[in-house]
Amino acid sequence: MKVLKTNKDLQEVLQQIRSEKNRLGFVPTMGALHEGHINLVNKSIDENDISIVSVFVNPKQFNNVEDFEKYPNTVQSDINLLEKAGCDYLFLPDFNEVYTSAYQPVNIDLGAIDDVFEGPLRPGHFDGVVQVVNILFRLVQPDMAYFGLKDYQQCMVIKALRDQKYPKINLSLCPTVRAQSGLALSSRNKRLSDKGLEKAAFIYKALKTVNELKKHIEADDAVKYGAHILSTHHIEVEYFALANAETLQPSRKWLRSGKNVVLAAVWIEGVRLIDNIVF
């Protein structure tokens, strides 16, 4: 695998890829790679001739400075994992390579997506995501780009960006990879103690319970019961709510014709974790 640190090096490689009419897959990440990321990389390798992964911890999407400062940096282990997976290129730019002196923020209409759940709780977060993915899409111009449904609302934001600015890029939104306990893999899990990890497994248990209760009880009661599971395990719930999976608008009733999503954000040992289930 070749590591590209500058846009100049990236453009040279891309020129070659395009001249050979190779199909290009792209996986943007912030590093601290785990099986969830590698699953996206494997999919890209399966479906394309060439795969590029980017590792860039984007300061603009952190609304909390401490979270940014504590974000794990594991470049060597990331490189090892990507080489083992058979990735072709790693784009590993620094801040000035991404946000050059010519940087102009892009304006995307996110409609109501930014008004719910993560939007109001993490002001500026989705705008930061839009800015960095816009820059990366513009630089890489892939045929396919891979994102994880673990960050469900983020996937909808990326769809809006793609629809409005990059209609030629195909998006592949991939299922959440979980530990055996059901806990969604996340680089933040590294900050939890063994006890915290045990507790965190109840997030997915609570989400699954809501799904299972759909056949039996009203949505409001099922969601209350799910949240109750979390509070019995002393998990601080920021939100635990049902929404329309297409529009993300919160709902107090099951959707019978469209898909339901239950979204959760909780705090365990000072670490904020998010997860969701679609059914």
Using CB under 6 A, count the residues that bind ligand AMP.
Answer: 17
Spatial distance between the Cα atoms of 23 and 37, rounded to a whole number of angstroms: 20
- Cβ closest to ligand AMP, residue 71 vs residue 254: 71
Spatial distance between the Cα atoms of 93 and 58, rounded to a whole number of angstroms: 11
Residues between 164 and 223 that touch ligand AMP (CB under 6 A)? 174, 176-177, 184-187
Extract the runs of DSSP E, i.e. beta strands, from 144-185.
144-148, 170-174
Does 276 engage in binding with ligand AMP (CB under 6 A)? no
Spatial distance between the Cα atoms of 120 and 222, rounded to a whole number of angstroms: 25
The residues, ordered by sequence, that sit 6+ positions from 180 with a Cβ below 8 Å of its Cβ are none
CB of 30 to ligand AMP, least distance (A): 4
CB of 23 to ligand AMP, least distance (A): 20
- Cβ closest to ligand AMP, residue 35 vs residue 115: 35
- Out of 60, 122, 125, 150, point to the residue binding ligand AMP (CB under 6 A): 150
Spatial distance between the Cα atoms of 6 and 10, rounded to a whole number of angstroms: 6
CB of 176 to ligand AMP, least distance (A): 4
Complete edge-to-edge strand list for the sheet that includes strand 260-268: 236-244, 260-268, 271-278
CB of 36 to ligand AMP, least distance (A): 2
- Cβ closest to ligand AMP, residue 62 vs residue 147: 147
Examine the residue annotation and report whether 34 is marked as an active-site residue of this protein.
no
Residue 209 DSSP label: H
Does 36 engage in binding with ligand AMP (CB under 6 A)? yes
Determine the length of the chain: 279
Complete edge-to-edge strand list for the sheet that includes strand 2-4: 2-4, 89-91, 50-55, 24-29, 144-148, 170-174
- Active-site position among 34, 37, 125, 228: 37
Residue 218 in tokens: 């009203």
Query: Which span sits near ligand AMP by CB under 6 A: 31-39, 80-88, 98-106, 189-197?
Result: 31-39
Does 142 engage in binding with ligand AMP (CB under 6 A)? no
- Out of 148, 162, 219, 263, point to the residue binding ligand AMP (CB under 6 A): 148
Taking the CA atoms of residue 19, residue 169, residue 273 and residue 209 in that order, the dihedral angle to the nearest 10 degrees is -130
CB of 150 to ligand AMP, least distance (A): 4
Does 263 engage in binding with ligand AMP (CB under 6 A)? no
Query: What positions carry a catalytic annotation?
Result: 37
Which residues would be at the binding site for ligand AMP (CB under 6 A)? Answer: 29-30, 36-37, 39-40, 147-148, 150-151, 174, 176-177, 184-187
